[in-house]
Structure 1
Amino acid sequence: MRQLIQTVLLTVISLPIVALEETSKRPELAIGTMLGSLILVLACIFLFAYLMKKSNFIRQGGSKNPIKVIATQPLTNKSRVQIIEVYGKQYLLGVSEQSINLLDQIDTPSVEQQVETQSVPSFATAFASVLSKAGKKNNE
């Protein structure tokens, strides 16, 4: 295993030297080598970005994030309603470009638990009922 790693490292280190020798003999290969290197670097950048996105490391900021987004419902292009959970308590928030407003604190059982036990259309019904309760509470 160690010999395989040494061989791979030696090959990777010696590739630029071989490419330099080839391009000094044939200048038309210089552009191809440069484009090949550029494509390889861009592929590595996109691969690492994809892996970081899949691991949720950037978004979550580690594993001890107390804030969790349960559900999001867009209202317009720039505003939405979100249910978030902070330390076991759930809140209904109205989010726009200019502000974030607390619409309601949800006292019912966890919406996330309801989603696990019900199908997706039932979740939409539950979310609509939470919104209507928040609207009634604000009108009173």
Structure 2
Amino acid sequence: MVLASAPVMAQLSPDEGGAENAARAPDTLATVLSLGAGLLAVIAIIYGCAWLIRRMSGMTGMNNNAIRVVSVMAIGARERIALVEVGGQQILLGITPSAIRTLQVFEEPVVDAGNPPDSDFARRLQSMIGKSWTAPKRKD
């Protein structure tokens, strides 16, 4: 009986309680503005937290000069080997997407981290920078 009478009760005329329902109807513009303001507040909080984290990362007291990457070489698409200097020792690491493994620990440095190895390409490029970029004229 109760379920059968529910559609009849929902179609009340304005003089039977419909005016109360119209007064309680949400204002669409106010709802949209309220939701928009809430969304902007959440976005502002996210950006504020990101800014705060970036500012605080320098204040952690960590010494970034203690560990230095001397050289990195790609072995495969996602595999690399890296030579890292820590406390006067150089460590050769194998790096994959799922793990980092120590391959060799060198007691004495094998590569001077302050002076990168001088390659033939670097020397040629340096000599070309000092020269004119124009092609030499032909004498025919």
TM range (shorter): 0.3 to 0.5
Structure with greater proportional helix content: 1
Query: Which is greater in Rg?
Result: 2
Question: What TM-score does the superposition give when structure 2 sets the normalisation length?
Answer: 0.46
